Amino acid sequence: MTTNTPKASLLPSVLVFAASDPSSGAGIQADIMTLASLGCHPLTALTAITVQDTVGVQSVHPLGAELLEQQARTVLEDMPVAAFKIGVLASLENVLAVAEIVGDYPEIPLIFDPVLASGRGDEFSDEEIITAMREMLLPQTTLLTPNAPEARRLAENPDDENEPSIEVCAQRLIEMGAQYVLITGTHENTPQVVNTLYGAEGIIRRDDWERLPGSYHGSGCTLASAIAGCIAGGASVEDAVRDAQDYTWQTLANPLRPGMGQFIPDRFFWARSEEEPEDAPKADDAV
């Protein structure tokens, strides 16, 4: 006699706080696809509805903080969560609501992708929101994943006479409370993309990646969600950062272009390869 063990109970669950992107290039749709590709069960708490495509963002419509909190607390009371991932929050009220929610679960790792603007430069966060992020979310963050412009904006100091270096930004962000900071170099003018992981003692690892041609929509969401998925699967922060970077680079090296604008990472590139399906990545591969 065969028994039917539900597979869902074997998958690590990751709760994502993020906005909807109808193009599925970035946002909560990108998070869902990335986590599913890595063998996780995605849970979602929607923060905003955006009107956008692969070309750019037309408008952002935050959801009410009360509705956001109801979404998150309902699933948290129903099932265990192995990691949190935060993307666009879209309003000061939502920053405060998420800070209060995750504060009730300090044992759950928190991966925070501080999306301050779209790849085209459309603003998602004003100075009031950024201040709240610094004060309310960074002290609860296990790993912060800004690109270089986001790191500089989060770490800027009124006394700065010149633009602070990436190393100084990382040090300041860790002093604000983040345990680890991964600063990505996609926006830097360097031959290769250089991503650097910092901890309290300084640089933990630095990875150089081939700079691919073209412009991509959703690479940051993919990387942060992949890290969250690997950590949910049991990996250390350093191993999760290593494996998530490799996965993300593969999604960018095998891109989709469903619209007239930017390329989109193919989060299921492995399903369209000529290799056997058993080569598909898993969240616990990094363990």
Based on C-alpha coordinates, what's the Rg of the chain? 18
Spell out the residues 6+ positions from residue 247 whose beta carbon is closer than 8 angstroms to its own.
37, 38, 222, 226, 281
Look at residue 184 and give its three-state secondary structure: strand
CA angle 47/228/120 to nearest 5° reads 55
Query: Alpha helix (H) ranges present in 79-192?
Result: 92-103, 127-132, 148-155, 166-175
**pLDDT for residue 9:** 67
Rounded Cα distance between 283 and 11, Å, is 9
In three-state form (DSSP H/G/I as H, E/B as E, the rest C), the secondary structure along 59-110 is EEEECCHHHHHHHHHHHHHHCCCCEEEECCCCCHHHHHHHHHHHHCCCCCCE
pLDDT along the chain (287 residues), means of 10: 65 97 96 97 97 91 98 97 97 97 98 77 74 97 96 87 89 97 84 93 93 88 98 98 96 91 93 61 49
Rounded Cα distance between 34 and 247, Å, is 9
Rounded Cα distance between 211 and 192, Å, is 5
Rounded Cα distance between 209 and 82, Å, is 29
Instruction: Tell if the pTM clears 0.85, that is, is over it.
Output: yes
End-to-end CA distance of the chain: 33
